[in-house]
Structure 1
Amino acid sequence: MGNSRGLFATYRETHSQFSITMQEDPAASWAKADSADVREIHPQKLAERASKKAHLAVKTSELAPGRYTVILEPAAVLDLVGFLFYDFAATAVEDKRSCLNNRMGKQLFAKNISISDDVYHPLQKGAPFDGEGMPRQRVLLVDGGVPKNLVYSRASAKMARQRPTGHGFALPNEYGEAPMNLVIGGGDSSVEKMVASTDRGLLVTRLWYIREVDPYEKVMTGMTRDGLFLVENGKLTRAVRNFRFNQSLIEMLNHVERMSPAVRATGEESFEMVVPAMKIGNFRFSEVTKF
């Protein structure tokens, strides 16, 4: 009988998460943190942030829909950009279900946008191997706004004559692979500096009910939630009624004016990633919501 070799790999992690919603009728706000180390979560600070925003939002005024400069806090960035993750799967490109079809190697986003998949990043966590037992590779997906690389399972790599990148799902599955440890490069600004630099715009705490309208142009719709504030002359002046947005992620990532350093962010619509806060011009709000 011939020799047989098996593969054995293990991974252990700790996971801590804290979420709080503070309500001051009729307003509410929210804050959330996620970490491998519970000592890095500070519930008191999160509660204070949510409480302050809820208090500011007790009285809201209504603005007209239209295009605004927005300052998206990390949770809002996460829950939007997270919808791009499967587009970087070789299987999605092969099946022509990706917004990157016919766009690889071309300038798609602004030059200040870089995206990697990196399980080894100090703020990321997760098994260093995929569902097929392959070691995960760090993959530079977008460099200077140009989509450069995809991720591959063993099957999609064989088909494309590439090497597997360690992003396959456990078999059997119909999705092939996907990058699950996204890291978006940040900048040297902060939410406070973004507010101070804005003549007129909106500060967005988070988003919800996000749905895809146009898969190829990556047009998303959804609503703001838990704290939407008007910025005038570099200061938060008042809370405003929530908006529904209708916005292409490709267009959005071409109008990023400033970014904070990237942080481990957590939201409600997407999985945890390392992303910055972003100041974005020309963001389209289509209508005022009823709450």
Structure 2
Amino acid sequence: MKLLNQEEAQRIAGKVMSLSKADECRVSISGSKRGNVRYARNSVSTAGQVQNTQLAVSVAFGKRQGTASVNEFDDKSLEKAVRRAEEVARLAPENPEFLPAIGKQDFKPSATYNPNASAFDPEYRAEVAFQSIDAARKKNLVAAGFFSDSTGFECIANSNGVFGYQELASLNFTVTARTEDGSGSGWVSRAAYDPKKFDARAASEIAIEKALRSVDAKALEPGRYAVILEPSASSDLLNYMFTAFDARAADEGRSFLAKKGGGNRVGDKLFDEQVNVWADPWDPDAPVLPWDQQSMLARARTDLIRNGKVASLEYNRYWAQKQGKAATASHGNIIMAGGSKSTEELVASTKKGILVTRTWYIRMVDPQSVLLTGLTRDGTFYVENGQIKYPVKNFRFNESPVALLNNIDELGKPMLIGEADSRFRMMVPAMKVREFNFTSKSDAV
């Protein structure tokens, strides 16, 4: 089905709510056109485009809820979905944490759509693949990559007067470049809202340079090192910590933000004073939907960490009511302040250390301290006197992002990180940190 404009989406949502006989009704309509191209060994392997529009209707009788979804929008199909949701609700047990639908919200639009996204088509994707493969072939390297783009819309409504509609567009790109014998590997990732701000060849050249530089890697002994983490490596670690800023988990003693004896650590200084983190749906570099899709609450700019102190936690509606707090929408993005230096400039100011391109296969070891274990990959280098001296074999690490943010020497320029979807984004900087804990060697490239 074609993507709906605001008038069409509002009409369909209104129709669904008028059909409902339940105490309340909530409607979510989403549509997307998603395209992709995948290539390996310098040849395109798959490419495609999928377009779909679907509707989910949720109804409640008292504290009994039911949900049904449909991707056909004729009157008969819409009514069938409503009746199915009502049938499920009547059979469902009562939800002890159920809260009635919220009232009308004021949604200030955010810039999640860029008109240049009209360029997304098979020819555009083919050109992305060509630019990346051509750059690798010219250096006798093998490239494997994935490019995806998405355009679409989101619409929410409920029987208490809530209505929101917004268009979306974004792209995501990753590529790994390797030497023919597999001894050298480089990787890069890019995300953007505007295709004019994305250059497949320039991005691929970064992976290519790392692949060429990473040949004949030397083994270093595990230990604690000064480390420069590129933004993608930083985000992989920090994401585990930022998703723990939940008041209920902290109050119930299930996170690193729990206070001994009960309560949470809002107001406590847990990080270096350089650390400032916030959520802002209207950030020009990382805009997201101005509402929380689950609760339908309007989002607001919110500080998570201010000068190293925990500034706030997320309170869902149930926990906020229980604790006597104001409910908050979930964060659609996470933005961490940084400096103006590039990763290369952070390297230039480093006497001795290790540059990490990427972290992967990360697993949680201890939720109470956010201790993580994982591996470096696709470009790990020894730095001395401001220069990359030689590649080093990869490490396994055991490290907590909480400790990481207490050992900051310098922060670089933030970069947009995320999938080809505007529902969640991160803007995080490259970081130069002390005492990063490498625990063992890894032979993987």
Normalising to structure 2: TM-score of the pair? Answer: 0.60
SS in 1 for 2:345: helix
Paired with 2:246 and 2:209, the residues of 1 have a C-alpha distance of 41
- After TM superposition, the structure 1 = structure 2 runs for residues 80-99 of structure 1, keeping only pairs within 5 Å, are 80-99=237-256
Does the 8 A contact of 2:252 with 2:258 survive in 1? no
Paired with 1:287 and 1:129, the residues of 2 have a C-alpha distance of 44
CA deviation after TM superposition for structure 1 residue 280, in Å: 0.4
1:58 aligns with 215
**Residues 1:227 and 2:359 aligned together:** no
**Residues 1:117 and 2:279 aligned together:** yes
Paired with 2:203 and 2:163, the residues of 1 have a C-alpha distance of 41
**Residues 1:263 and 2:415 aligned together:** yes
Paired with 1:66 and 1:183, the residues of 2 have a C-alpha distance of 30
Flag structure 1 segments of 5+ consecutive residues without an equivalent. Answer: 168-178
Within the candidate set 298, 306, 323, 1:160 is matched to 323
Greater helix share, structure number: 2
CA deviation after TM superposition for structure 1 residue 85, in Å: 2.1
Does the 8 A contact of 2:382 with 2:390 survive in 1? yes
The code of the aligned residue for 1:196 comes to A
CA deviation after TM superposition for structure 1 residue 197, in Å: 1.3
CA deviation after TM superposition for structure 1 residue 6, in Å: 2.8
Paired with 2:425 and 2:326, the residues of 1 have a C-alpha distance of 27
SS in 1 for 2:243: helix
CA deviation after TM superposition for structure 1 residue 265, in Å: 2.3
CA deviation after TM superposition for structure 1 residue 64, in Å: 0.3
**Residues 1:285 and 2:438 aligned together:** yes
1:49 aligns with 206
Paired with 1:261 and 1:77, the residues of 2 have a C-alpha distance of 12
CA deviation after TM superposition for structure 1 residue 18, in Å: 1.5
Q: Which entry has the higher C-alpha Rg, 1 or 2?
A: 2
CA deviation after TM superposition for structure 1 residue 104, in Å: 2.4
Paired with 2:160 and 2:217, the residues of 1 have a C-alpha distance of 66
Does the 8 A contact of 2:411 with 2:432 survive in 1? yes
Paired with 1:8 and 1:193, the residues of 2 have a C-alpha distance of 47
Residues 179-213 of structure 1: CA deviation (Å, up to 9, x unaligned): 33111111233212211111110010010011111
Within the candidate set 382, 405, 428, 1:275 is matched to 428
Bigger RCO (CA 8 Å, 6+ sep): 1
Paired with 1:37 and 1:229, the residues of 2 have a C-alpha distance of 32
**Quick check: 193-202 or 73-82, which moved more?**
193-202
CA deviation after TM superposition for structure 1 residue 126, in Å: 2.2
Does the 8 A contact of 2:255 with 2:369 survive in 1? no
Paired with 1:5 and 1:142, the residues of 2 have a C-alpha distance of 34
CA deviation after TM superposition for structure 1 residue 84, in Å: 1.0
Segments ≥4 residues shifted beyond 6 Å: none
Does the 8 A contact of 2:366 with 2:372 survive in 1? yes
Flag structure 2 segments of 5+ consecutive residues without an equivalent. Answer: 1-158, 260-264
Within the candidate set 287, 290, 293, 1:128 is matched to 290
Paired with 1:182 and 1:159, the residues of 2 have a C-alpha distance of 26
Normalising to structure 1: TM-score of the pair? Answer: 0.90
SS in 2 for 1:230: strand
The code of the aligned residue for 1:90 comes to A
Within the candidate set 202, 207, 220, 2:359 is matched to 207
**Residues 1:143 and 2:306 aligned together:** yes
Paired with 1:155 and 1:39, the residues of 2 have a C-alpha distance of 43
Does the 8 A contact of 1:189 with 1:258 survive in 2? no
Aligned-residue identity in percent: 36
SS in 2 for 1:217: coil
Residues 39-68 of structure 1: CA deviation (Å, up to 9, x unaligned): 111111111110010001111110000000
1:172 aligns with none
Paired with 2:425 and 2:360, the residues of 1 have a C-alpha distance of 15
Residues 82-129 of structure 1: CA deviation (Å, up to 9, x unaligned): 001222112222332221112321111001001112222111132110
Paired with 1:37 and 1:281, the residues of 2 have a C-alpha distance of 36
The code of the aligned residue for 2:316 comes to S
1:171 aligns with none
When residues 57 and 156 of structure 1 are mapped into structure 2, their CA distance, relative to the original with a 3 A threshold, is: same
Within the candidate set 191, 215, 227, 1:34 is matched to 191
**Quick check: 248-257 or 91-100, which moved more?**
91-100
Paired with 2:243 and 2:323, the residues of 1 have a C-alpha distance of 17
CA RMSD of superposed structures (Å): 1.5
1:243 aligns with 395
2:5 aligns with none
